[in-house]
C-alpha cells in the first residue's frame, strides 16, 4: 500500500511538473510601437520593437528625416522612475534608421527617454487566459484520473475505479466546454488602454473591475511660447490636474497642427517633458497669431481635438518650402463627399504616421485660420495586409503614386487644404485652396 | 446485445451533438432595410466578410413601385474616420441597382450611405 502511494505521488509530480510551460503558452501580445517625436531640431520616429522576452533586450530604431542634424541621442529605459539601462545612438547625417538596444527586466509600465523626451509604454506579460487554464487543466486532470482508474482496476478494486472514472468524464467535459467557448469569449483590452497600467494589472490582465465606462473628462489646452519652443499645458477639464494619460494614436501622443497668419502649415509631434507638459521647437516662426490645434486621445477612449491660438514674435519671412503635386479634385456641394486625389508620379511614397497621406482642412476662412469653424484631419490609408499585424515602417518606400482623400466639407466657402506624404524620408506638403459651393435649392445635408 | 445497442445509440447521440455544436455556420448576408420619406431602400451585401463586396440595392417608393434615378453609394468606416469615394450604382432593372467590387477592406462597423435624388439613408453594415 505504501509503495502504491509512493508510485502515485511520483507520477502525479511528474504530470503536474510539466504543466508550467503548457499553461504559459499565451497568445502573442503587443506589437511594434511607432512614435513620432519632434525633438528639438530633429523630426524623429522612435520605433520600439515588440519585446520577445523579459528580462531581455528592447530593440529601438530611431528614424531620422531629411534636415535632421547629425549627433547623438541617449535612450534610457525607466521603470517606476528608476533608470535601468541606457544606450547611446549616434545619428548620421543621412536620414534613415539608427538602432539602439536597452534592457528591461520585467513586464509592466515602462518609460523610454530619448534625451529630454519621455515615451511611456507598456511591456505586456504573457499570461494564459482562464479558459486556456481550464482546457489544459481539464485534460491534465483527466489523464491523471485515468491513470488512477487503471491502477485501481489493476489492483483488483473495480468498484474503487468508478470514482476516478467519473472524474475523467467531468474533467473532459470541463476541458471541452472551455475549449469550445474560448473563441467566442471577447479578449481583454490591452494593458494600459482602459486602466492606468501598473505592474499588477499588466501581470494579471484578466482581473475583473466593476468599471464599465472608462471614458475620462475632456482636456484644456493652453499653449505658450518659451524661447524657441511652443509649450502645451494639458489639464483635466474637471479637476484641473495635469493630463498624463495620453495614448498613442496614429503613431503620436499629440498631433499638433500650427497654421501661421500667412497660411503656412506645420504638423508637429510634441515631446512629453513633464506630466501634462508637451514641448516642440518652432523653427523660424513668423510674427503674429498662429492657429493651433492638437489631436489627442486620453486613456479610456476617444480622440479629441483641442483648438487654440498663440502669439508668436518671430521675424521669419513667409515659409516657402511647399511642394507640388497634380491634384484631381471632384468638389461637391457642402455636406456631400468631395474627392481629392494627389498624384505624385512615382510609386515610392513611404508611410508617414502609419498612413499613406494626410490632408489637413481648415476653413471656411474669412478672417484667418484662427476663427475658421472647421478643422479636419483626413487620412489616406495604406491597404491592410491580412494576417500581418505589424504596420509597415518607413523603410517600405513602395506606396502611391496616387493618394486619394474623401471628405464631406460641412459648410460652403473657401478652405485651406494641405496634403502631406513622405518621400525620401522627407515630409512633402502640398497646399491647395478648395472652394465648396452651397447645396443647390437650400438642401440640407 | 441490448448493452451493445445502448452503447451504439449513446455514441450516435454524442456524435450528433458534437456535429451540431461544431458544424461551421456561414453568416448569411441579410438584407438591410431603410426608409426615407419617399423611398424604401433594401441593401444586400454579397458577404459579411471584409474585402471586395458587391452591394445589391432594391429601391422602391413606399407604395412598392420601382424607383428611377441616379443612385450613389458612399461607404464610410466611422471608427477609422475614413470615407471611400462615392460610387454610382449601375441599374440592373427598374428599382434594382448593383455596385460591384466595393473595397470594404477592413472588418468592423461600416456605414453605407445610399442616395437617390435628394433622399439619403444610412445603412449600417457590420463586417467580420
**CATH architecture under which domain A326-442 falls:** Sandwich (2.60)
Is B18 part of any domain? no
Q: Which run of H or of E encompasses A168?
A: helix A158-181
CA-to-CA distance for A270 and B100, rounded, in angstroms? 44
> Residue A196 pLDDT more than 70?
yes
DSSP sequence for A131-150 = HHHHHHHHHHHHHHHHHHHH
Residue with cell 459651393: A437
Using the beta-carbon criterion (under 8 Å), do A381 and B80 form an inter-chain contact?
A: yes
CA atoms of A197 and A200, how far apart (whole Å):
8
Task: Give the gap in angstroms from C-alpha B90 to the nearest C-alpha of chain A.
Answer: 19
Average confidence (pLDDT) over A395-401? 84
CA angle A404, A263, A271 (to 5 degrees): 80
Give strand ranges (E) for A26-157. 33-39, 42-48, 56-64, 71-79, 82-91, 97-104, 108-114, 117-123
- What pLDDT was estimated at residue A126? 85
Sort out which chain A residues have CB atoms less than 8 A from B118's CB and list them: 443
Grid cell, residue B104, equals 470594404
- Report pLDDT for A412: 95
A304 touches chain B (CB under 8 A): no
* C-alpha closest to that of B114 among B56, B65, B66: B56
Compute the distance between CA of residue A349 and CA of residue A356 in angstroms, rounded to an integer. Answer: 7
Give B-chain residues touching A407 at CB under 8 angstroms.
Answer: 83
Query: Does residue B41 lie within any of the structural domains?
Result: yes
| A47 contact partners, CB below 8 Å, separation of at least 6 | A32, A33, A34, A35, A60, A61, A62, A63, A393
A-chain residues within 8 Å CB-CB of B80?
Answer: 379, 381
Verify whether the Cβ–Cβ distance A180 to B21 is below 8 Å: yes
Residue B38 lies in a domain: yes
Length of chain A: 445
Interface probe, candidates A305, A386, A440, chain B, greatest B C-beta count within 10 A? A386
At residue A14, the pLDDT reads 46
Query: Across the interface, do B85 and A443 touch by the CB < 8 Å criterion?
Result: no
Contacts of B70 in chain A (CB under 8 A): none
Q: What is the pLDDT of residue A205?
A: 86
Contact B80 A443 (CB under 8 A): no
Share of chain A above pLDDT 90, in %: 58
> Could A406 and B22 be called an inter-chain contact, meaning their C-beta atoms sit closer than 8 Å?
no
Integer CA distances (angstroms), A137 to A19, A125, A140, A445, in order: 8, 21, 5, 58
Q: What is the pLDDT at residue A76?
A: 94
The number of angstroms, rounded, from the C-alpha of A5 to the middle of its chain's C-alpha atoms is 55
Domain assignments of chain A as residue spans, ordered by start: 2-26+128-184, 33-123, 219-313, 326-442
For the stretch A323-353, pLDDT in tens is 888 899 999 999 999 999 999 988 889 999 9
What ipTM describes this predicted complex?
0.78
> Per-residue pLDDT for A267 more than 60?
yes
Instruction: Provide the CATH number for the domain around residue B62.
Output: 2.60.40.1930
In CATH, the number for domain A33-123 is: 2.60.40.10
Q: Are the C-beta atoms of residues A258 and A280 closer than 8 Å to each other?
A: no
- In chain B, how many domains are there? 1
Residue A94 has pLDDT above 60, yes or no: yes
pLDDT at A442 over 60: no
Task: Of A109, A128, A134, A138, give the one whose Cα is nearest residue A187.
Answer: A128
What pLDDT is recorded for position A30? 63
- Residue B6 within any structural domain of the chain: no
Half-sphere exposure of A113 (CA within 13 A, CB side): 18
Burial string for A162-191 (b: 16+ CB within 10 Å, else e) reads eebbebbeebbebbbebbeeeeeeeeeeeb
Among the partner residues A337, A378, A383, nearest to B86 by beta-carbon distance: A337
C-alpha cell at position A51: 519585446
Strands (E), A9-48: 33-39, 42-48
A21–chain B Cβ distance below 8 A for any pair: no
Residue B119, domain member (yes or no): yes
B61 touches chain A (CB under 8 A): no
Note the pLDDT of residue A16.
43
- Look at phi and psi of residue A250 and say left if phi exceeds 0, alpha if psi is from -120 to 50, else beta: left
Residues A86, A115: contact at Cβ < 8 Å?
no
Q: Is the pLDDT of residue A246 over 90?
A: yes
Lookup result for grid cell 450611405: B113
> Quick check: B86 contacting A, CB < 8 Å?
yes
* pLDDT number for residue A84: 86
Q: Which residue of A has its CA nearest to B106?
A: A384
pLDDT confidence bin for A53, thresholds 50/70/90:
confident
Mean pLDDT of A286-304: 91
For A440, name the nearest residue in chain B, comparing CA atoms only.
B118
pLDDT at B3: 84
Check whether A1 has a pLDDT greater than 70. Answer: no
Chain A residue with Cα closest to B83: A406
**pLDDT tier for residue A283 given thresholds of 50, 70 and 90:** confident
Which pLDDT band holds residue A13 (cuts at 50, 70, 90)?
very low
Question: Please, what is the average pLDDT of chain A?
Answer: 86
CB contact under 8 A, A407 and B74: no
| Residue A320: band (very low, low, confident or very high) from pLDDT cuts 50, 70, 90 | low
pLDDT tens string A134-167: 999 999 999 999 999 999 999 988 888 899 999 9
With bands split at pLDDT 50, 70 and 90, how would you rate the model's confidence at A18? very low
pLDDT at A386: 67
Provide the residue range defining the domain that includes B98.
32-127
pLDDT at A12 over 70: no
- Confidence band (pLDDT; 50, 70, 90) for A15? very low
Mean pLDDT, residues A211-220: 89
pLDDT of residue A57: 93
In a domain, B12, yes or no: no
CATH topology classification for A219-313: Immunoglobulin-like (2.60.40)
pLDDT for the residue numbered A17: 41
pTM of the model: 0.83
How near does any CA of chain B get to the CA of A336, in Å? 9
Q: Which of A396-400, A416-420, B22-26, B103-107 has the highest mean pLDDT?
A: A416-420
Q: Per the CB < 8 Å rule, is A443 touching B74?
A: no
Which whole number is the average pLDDT over A68-73?
Answer: 92
Give the distance from residue A286's alpha carbon to the nearest chain B alpha carbon, in angstroms: 32
Tell me the mean pLDDT per 10 residues along chain B, length 128: 86 88 72 89 88 90 89 90 90 90 87 89 90
pLDDT exceeds cutoff 80 at A4: no
The confidence band for A9, taking pLDDT boundaries of 50, 70 and 90, is: very low
Q: Do A383 and B105 touch (CB under 8 A)?
A: yes
Residue of chain B whose alpha carbon sits nearest to that of A339? B85
Amino acid at each position: 500500500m505504501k509503495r502504491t502511494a509512493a508510485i502515485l505521488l511520483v507520477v502525479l509530480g511528474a504530470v503536474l511538473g510539466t504543466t508550467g510551460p503548457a499553461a504559459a503558452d499565451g497568445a502573442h501580445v503587443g506589437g511594434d510601437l511607432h512614435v513620432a517625436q519632434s525633438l528639438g531640431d530633429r523630426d524623429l520616429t522612435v520605433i520600439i520593437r515588440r519585446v520577445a522576452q523579459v528580462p531581455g533586450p528592447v530593440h529601438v530604431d530611431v528614424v531620422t528625416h531629411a534636415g535632421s542634424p547629425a549627433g547623438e541621442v541617449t535612450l534610457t529605459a525607466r521603470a517606476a522612475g528608476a533608470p535601468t539601462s541606457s544606450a547611446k545612438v549616434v545619428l548620421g547625417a543621412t536620414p534613415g534608421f539608427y538602432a539602439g538596444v536597452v534592457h528591461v527586466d520585467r513586464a509592466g509600465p515602462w518609460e523610454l527617454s530619448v534625451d529630454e523626451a519621455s515615451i511611456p509604454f507598456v511591456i505586456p506579460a504573457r499570461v494564459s487566459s482562464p479558459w486556456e487554464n481550464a482546457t489544459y487543466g481539464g485534460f491534465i486532470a483527466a489523464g491523471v484520473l485515468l491513470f488512477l482508474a487503471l491502477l485501481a482496476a489493476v489492483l483488483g478494486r473495480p468498484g474503487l475505479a468508478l470514482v476516478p472514472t467519473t472524474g475523467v468524464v467531468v474533467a473532459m467535459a470541463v476541458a471541452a466546454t472551455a475549449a469550445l467557448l474560448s473563441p467566442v469569449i471577447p479578449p481583454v483590452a490591452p494593458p494600459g488602454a482602459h486602466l492606468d497600467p501598473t505592474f499588477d494589472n499588466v501581470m494579471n490582465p484578466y482581473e475583473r473591475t466593476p468599471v464599465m465606462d472608462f471614458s475620462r473628462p475632456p482636456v484644456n489646452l493652453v499653449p505658450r511660447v518659451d524661447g524657441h519652443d511652443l509649450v502645451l499645458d494639458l489639464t483635466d477639464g474637471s479637476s484641473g490636474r495635469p493630463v498624463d494619460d495620453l495614448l498613442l494614436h496614429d503613431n503620436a501622443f499629440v498631433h499638433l497642427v500650427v497654421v501661421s497668419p500667412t497660411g503656412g502649415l506645420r504638423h508637429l509631434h510634441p515631446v512629453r517633458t513633464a506630466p501634462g507638459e508637451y514641448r516642440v521647437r518652432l523653427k523660424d516662426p513668423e510674427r503674429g497669431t498662429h492657429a493651433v490645434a492638437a489631436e489627442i486621445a486620453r486613456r479610456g477612449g476617444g480622440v479629441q481635438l483641442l483648438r487654440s491660438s498663440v502669439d508668436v514674435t518671430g521675424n521669419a519671412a513667409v515659409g516657402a518650402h511647399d511642394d507640388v503635386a497634380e491634384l484631381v479634385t471632384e468638389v461637391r456641394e457642402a455636406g456631400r463627399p468631395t474627392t481629392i486625389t494627389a498624384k505624385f508620379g512615382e510609386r515610392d511614397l513611404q508611410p508617414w504616421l502609419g498612413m499613406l497621406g494626410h490632408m489637413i482642412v481648415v476653413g471656411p476662412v474669412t478672417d484667418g485660420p484662427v476663427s475658421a469653424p472647421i478643422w479636419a484631419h483626413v487620412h489616406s490609408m495604406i491597404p491592410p495586409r491580412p494576417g500581418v499585424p505589424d504596420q509597415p515602417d518607413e523603410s517600405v518606400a513602395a506606396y502611391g503614386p496616387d493618394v486619394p482623400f474623401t471628405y464631406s466639407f460641412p459648410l460652403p466657402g473657401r478652405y485651406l487644404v494641405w496634403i502631406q506624404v513622405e518621400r525620401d524620408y522627407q515630409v512633402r506638403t502640398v497646399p491647395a485652396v478648395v472652394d465648396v459651393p452651397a447645396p443647390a435649392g437650400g438642401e440640407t445635408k | 446485445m441490448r448493452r451493445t445497442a445502448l452503447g451504439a445509440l449513446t455514441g450516435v447521440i454524442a456524435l450528433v451533438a458534437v456535429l451540431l455544436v461544431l458544424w461551421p455556420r456561414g453568416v448569411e448576408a441579410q438584407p438591410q432595410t431603410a426608409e426615407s420619406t419617399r423611398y424604401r431602400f433594401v441593401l444586400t451585401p454579397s458577404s459579411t466578410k471584409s474585402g471586395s463586396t458587391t452591394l445589391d440595392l432594391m429601391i422602391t417608393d413606399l407604395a412598392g413601385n420601382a424607383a428611377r434615378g441616379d443612385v450613389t453609394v458612399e461607404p464610410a468606416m466611422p471608427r477609422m474616420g475614413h470615407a471611400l469615394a462615392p460610387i454610382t450604382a449601375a441599374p440592373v432593372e427598374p428599382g434594382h441597382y448593383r455596385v460591384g467590387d466595393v473595397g470594404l477592406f477592413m472588418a468592423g462597423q461600416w456605414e453605407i450611405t445610399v442616395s437617390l435624388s435628394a433622399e439619403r439613408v444610412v445603412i449600417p453594415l457590420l463586417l467580420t
